[in-house]
Amino acid sequence: MAGEEHAPPIESRTDLIEVMAAGGKPRAEWRVGTEHEKHVFHRNPLRPVTYGGEQGVRALLEGIEARTRWHPFFDLDKPIGLRNLGDIGGISLEPGGQFELSGAPQLTVQDSAAELASHMADCHAVGDALDINFLGLGVTPLWAVSEIPSMPKSRYAIMTSYMGKVGKLGTSMMYRSATAQTNLDFSDEADMVKKLRVSVALQPVVTALFANSPFVDGKPSGFLSFRSEIWRDTDADRTGMLPFAFEDGFGFERYADYALDVPMYFVIRNNEYIDVAGEDFRAFLAGKLPQLPGQKPTIKDWENHLSTLFPEVRLKQFLEMRGADMGDIPHVNALTALWVGLLYDEAALDAAADLVKDWTVEEQAAMRQEVPRMAIHTKFRKGTVADMARQMVEIARAGLSRRGRDEASYLAPLEQTLDSGKTQAERWLDKYHGEWAGDLTRIFEAARL
CATH of the domain at 202: 3.30.590.20
For residue 70, is pLDDT > 70? yes
Share of the chain above pLDDT 70, in %: 99
For residue 84, is pLDDT > 50? yes
Mean pLDDT of the chain: 97
- The predicted-structure confidence for 427-437, as pLDDT tens digits, reads as follows 999 999 999 99
Please report, in angstroms and rounded to a whole number, the separation of the first and last CA atoms in the chain.
Answer: 31
pLDDT of res. 85: 73
Minimal CA–CA distance to 21: which of 312, 246, 316? Answer: 316
Distance, in Å, from the CA atom of 89 to the CA atom of 242, rounded to the nearest integer, reads 27
SS (H, E, C) 155-205: HHHHHHHHHHHHCCCHHHHHHHECEEEEEECCCCHHHHHHHHHHHHHHHHH
Structural domain contains residue 364: yes
Give the pTM: 0.97
Q: What is the mean pLDDT of residues 72-87?
A: 90
For residue 220, is pLDDT > 90? yes
Structural domain contains residue 267: no
Number of Cβ within 10 Å of residue 283's Cβ equals 13
Structural domain contains residue 298: no
For residue 373, is pLDDT > 70? yes
Distance, in Å, from the CA atom of 13 to the CA atom of 9, rounded to the nearest integer, reads 12
Q: Determine the structural domain holding residue 255 and report its residue range.
A: 31-262+309-446
SS (H, E, C) the chain: CCCHHHCCECCCHHHHHHHHHCCCCCHHHCCEEEEEEEEEEEECCEEECCCCCCCCHHHHHHHHHHHHCCEEEEECCEEEEEEEECCEEEEEECCCCCEEEECCCECCHHHHHHHHHHHHHHHHHHHHHHCCEEECCCECCCCCHHHCCCCCCHHHHHHHHHHHHHCCCHHHHHHHECEEEEEECCCCHHHHHHHHHHHHHHHHHHHHHCCCECEECCEECCCCEHHHHHHCCCCCCCEECCHHHHCCCCCHHHHHHHHHHCCCCEEEECCEEEECCCCCHHHHHCCCCCCCCCCCCEHHHHHHHHCCCEECEEECCCEEEEEEECCCHHHHHHHHHHHHHHHCCHHHHHHHHHHHCCCCHHHHHHHHHHHHHHHHHCEECCEEHHHHHHHHHHHHHHHHHHHCCCCHHHHHHHHHHHHHCCCHHHHHHHHHHCCCCCCHHHHHHHCEC
Q: What is the mean pLDDT of residues 370-375?
A: 98
Structural domain contains residue 357: yes
Structural domain contains residue 395: yes
Are 64 and 126 within 8 A, CB to CB? Answer: yes
Q: 124 pLDDT band (50/70/90 cuts)?
A: very high
Q: Are strands 310-311 and 239-240 parallel, antiparallel or unpaired?
A: parallel
**In the chain, what is the greatest distance between 2 CA atoms, to the nearest angstrom?**
64
pLDDT of res. 9: 97
Structural domain contains residue 279: no
Structural domain contains residue 440: yes
pLDDT of res. 86: 65
Structural domain contains residue 213: yes
- The predicted-structure confidence for 147-204, as pLDDT tens digits, reads as follows 999 999 999 999 999 999 999 999 999 999 999 999 999 999 999 999 999 999 999 9
pLDDT of res. 442: 98
For residue 1, is pLDDT > 50? no
pLDDT of res. 87: 63
Q: What is the mean pLDDT of residues 66-82?
A: 96
Q: C-alpha angle with apex 47: 84 to 334, nearest 5 degrees?
A: 45
Q: 395 pLDDT band (50/70/90 cuts)?
A: very high
Distance, in Å, from the CA atom of 386 to the CA atom of 395, rounded to the nearest integer, reads 14
- The predicted-structure confidence for 19-30, as pLDDT tens digits, reads as follows 999 999 999 999
Q: 2 pLDDT band (50/70/90 cuts)?
A: very low
380, 381, 387, 392: CA torsion to nearest 10: -80
Number of domains in the chain: 1
Minimal CA–CA distance to 42: which of 31, 54, 34, 33? Answer: 54
Share of the chain above pLDDT 90, in %: 97
Angle between helix 385-403 and 412-420 (nearest 10): 150
Number of Cβ within 10 Å of residue 72's Cβ equals 16
- The predicted-structure confidence for 250-294, as pLDDT tens digits, reads as follows 999 999 999 999 999 999 999 999 999 999 999 999 999 999 999
Q: Is the peptide bond before 45 cis (omega within 30 degrees of 0)?
A: yes
For residue 210, is pLDDT > 50? yes
pLDDT of res. 376: 98
Distance, in Å, from the CA atom of 272 to the CA atom of 420, rounded to the nearest integer, reads 51
